[in-house]
A = this chain, B = another copy of it.
Amino acid sequence: MGINQRFVEKAEALLPELQESIVTPKRVIDVIADADAFQGWSAEETISLEELTGSSLGKDDSFILDFGDHQVGYVSFTVKPVGSPPDAPLGLKLIFGEMPCEVAESFDSYNGWLSKSWLQEETMYIDILPAEIRLPRRYCFRYMKVMVLDTSRKYTVAFSDIQCKAVTSADTSKLAPLRDDLPDDLKDMDRISIKTLQDCMQTVFEDGPKRDRRLWIGDLRLQAIANYYTFNNYDLVKRCLYLFAGLTLEDGAVSACIFEKPQPLADDTRLYDYSLFFAATLFDYYKASQDRETLIELWPTAYEQIEIALRRLDERGIVQDEEKWWSFTDWHPDLNKQAPAQAALIYCLRRALWLAQALDKHGEAQFIQEQLNLVTQSTIEHLWDPEQGFFISGETKQVSWASQVWMALAGVFDTEENGRLMDRLFEEQPAVGMTTPYMYHHLIEALFESGRASKAVEQMRAYWGEMVKDGADCFWEVYNPADKQLSPYGSNLINSYCHAWSCTPTYFIRKYKL
């Protein structure tokens, strides 16, 4: 791994202090099987909070608290014995869920391919009562299930002072109000996407505070642009850029993600599009912040990503395809990544060119301009199918939504031609669709940028609007209105239900002044 210690130290010096707020539970609920509800579960109030704190629980008793909204933070509570002095430890199991499914379905049934250690549960044995319990791990939840595994025949327990110290590095006082006459559904979408961004803003821009709890550049890029229209926390973006620039892969490529603890460390995951997005993210940062000092310092890293990306071009000037997971684009299992990667290259070449010019780096600007011309030309020649009117990708000449969207964003054609490409996309509906809010973001952006604002808003409503109707407190990592149990990981228990790459409705609403 390549380490630029000065950059890492600069990033560490920007470590934000988290804002803390105390949140208490709002309701005691039960989760009921409900075929009409999202994922088949709905929450129903049972007893009042006063009844709960006034009662005592013994072996196999349990309750579920609803904190009213999504929380990221540290839970504490007091547990007191009732009856004889406790003559055995208290056994407790706690489960934290962002969604009702997590407190309704047994974690034992989990059989997905991501680590089951992500499932938020704690089993604790408390030797001395009464006890003030402060759980050391951070949880991400709206629902908290408390199960009494055992007390003894001589005592039960009563719970009180249950609370969550919620944390974020977002400062909500910086939010500008929306125009009053904005339709309510867009207001809701704005509010929920801001909450999503807020809960993902910790000591870095995390992808999801439940999972993976770390800095992915794909998520960072979208969080940063949403942040520029909301919290305006430039320092956090700067910290993240310095982390990526300070900790690269062996050949200088920016890693797909960074771990903060025990000390900042680049993951060994390499993704073609993600490395390139360093340049795009720096571009967005500079445009928003005008922080020229950072631009000067990080430009070499951005330029290096361009150089590394260009090395992957074949003799035709097309990014070489590969079987394995080499570029991200979207989670769709059948998606070929060649054309979207080619488009990401063009997209980032354009932004790098702008930065080189802004820095008066004439030689580099000229090189980028040449490459941009060559690559654009090759793209039209080899990936554009004039008969179908679509871009094709890979050996099988796949026509996917992702390829068209990314080529529109790359600006291979002009705005008008892109608009017609977008119209054709909706008319023809290619089979290889989109599976993540991340990909939907790019669709919406492509629609806005191609002069299709009303289609963009329609699609926002059809996607994020449906999430709102399905009860989202924050926007989700994965959502398919036609398959609501969908998980790319084999179980909806492990999906992240507050996920950075889903936070951009506020960006669209505010940037395009809806």
Interface on chain A toward B: helix, strand, loop, or mixed SS?
loop
- The contact of A113 among B116, B129, B151, B153, by CB within 8 Å, is B153
Please give, as numbers and ranges, the residues of chain B lying within 8 Å of A152 by CB-CB distance: 114-115, 117
Q: B116 touching A212 by the CB < 8 A rule?
A: no
Q: CB distance B114 to A212 under 8 Å?
A: no
Interface contact A116-B149, CB-CB below 8 Å: yes
Residue A90 at the chain B interface, CB threshold 8 Å: yes
Assess whether B150 is in contact with A116, with CB atoms less than 8 Å apart. yes
Interface contact A88-B212, CB-CB below 8 Å: yes
Q: Is A47 an interface residue (CB 8 A)?
A: no
Q: Give chain B residues whose Cβ lies under 8 Å from the Cβ of A116.
A: 91, 149-150
Q: CB-nearest residue of chain B relative to A153? A: B113
B125 close to A137 (CB less than 8 A): yes
Residue A267 at the B interface, CB < 8 A? yes
Check if B88 sits within 8 Å of A128, measured CB to CB. Answer: no
Asked if A352 lies at the interface with its beta carbon under 8 angstroms from chain B, I say no
> Are B212 and A115 within 8 A (Cβ)?
no
CB-CB nearest in chain B for A89: B117
Decide if A90 touches B113 in the complex (CB within 8 Å): no
Residues of chain B within 8 A (CB-CB) of A266 are 85
**Given known A-B contacts A88-B117, A113-B153, A115-B150, A125 and B122 have beta carbons under 8 A apart:** yes
B-facing mask of A139-179, CB < 8 A → 1, else 0?
00000000001111100000000000000000000000000
Chain B CB within 10 Å — which of A85, A90, A114 has the most? A85
The listed residue (B122, B129, B153, B261) touching A128 by CB distance below 8 A is: B261
- Chain B residue with minimal CB distance to A110? B150
Asked if residues A259 and B113 are in contact (CB atoms below 8 Å), the reply is: no
| Contact of A84 with B122 in the complex, beta carbons under 8 Å | no
CB contact under 8 A between A262 and B130, given known A125-B122, A267-B85: yes
Q: Decide if A381 is an interface residue (CB 8 Å cutoff).
A: no
A452 to chain B, nearest CB (A): 38
B267 touches A151 (CB 8 A): no
B128 in contact with A137 (CB, 8 Å):
no
Whether a CB of chain B sits under 8 angstroms from the CB of A44 is no
In contact, B84 and A117 (Cβ under 8 angstroms): no
Choose one: B121, B137, B150, B261; the contact of A117 (CB below 8 Å).
Answer: B150
Known: A85-B268, A265-B85. A91 touches B113 (CB 8 A): no
Assess A89 versus B118: contact at CB under 8 Å? Given A125-B137, A128-B261, A267-B84. Answer: yes
| Interface flag for A61 (CB, 8 Å) | no
Tell me whether A123 is interfacial, beta carbon within 8 Å: yes
Interface flag for A291 (CB, 8 Å): no
Cα–Cα, bound, A152→B268 (Å): 14
A113: B residues at CB distance < 8 A: 153
Asked if A466 lies at the interface with its beta carbon under 8 angstroms from chain B, I say: no
Q: Give A118 to B115 CA distance when docked, in angstroms.
A: 29
Counting CB contacts under 8 A, is A87 at the interface?
yes
Chain B contacts of A125 at CB under 8 A?
Answer: 117, 121-122, 137
**Residue ID in chain B nearest A125 by CB atoms:** B117
Complex CA distance for A128 and B87, rounded to whole angstroms: 35
Q: Which of B88, B118, B130, B265 contacts A118 (CB 8 A)?
A: B88
Contacts of A117 in B (CB 8 A): 88-91, 125, 149-152
Residues of B within 8 A of A150 (CB): 115-117
For the complex formed, measure the closest distance between the CB of A173 and the CB atoms of chain B, giving whole angstroms.
Answer: 30
CB distance from A389 to the nearest CB of B (A): 41
- Set of chain B residues within 8 Å of A458, measured between Cβ atoms: none
Q: Which of A245-274 contact B (CB under 8 A)?
A: 259, 261-262, 265-268
Asked if A127 is at the interface (CB within 8 A of a chain B CB), the reply is yes
Complex: how many Å from CA A86 to CA B262?
11
Most buried by B among A86, A115, A116, A153: A115
A-B contact pairs, 16 of them (CB 8 A): A84-B267, A84-B268, A86-B259, A87-B115, A87-B259, A87-B267, A88-B115, A88-B118, A89-B115, A89-B117, A113-B153, A117-B151, A121-B125, A123-B123, A125-B137, A127-B261
- Beyond A85-B265, A87-B267, 18 extra complex contacts between A and B, CB < 8 Å: A84-B267, A85-B266, A86-B259, A87-B115, A87-B214, A88-B114, A88-B115, A88-B118, A90-B117, A91-B117, A115-B152, A117-B149, A121-B123, A125-B137, A127-B213, A127-B261, A128-B262, A130-B262
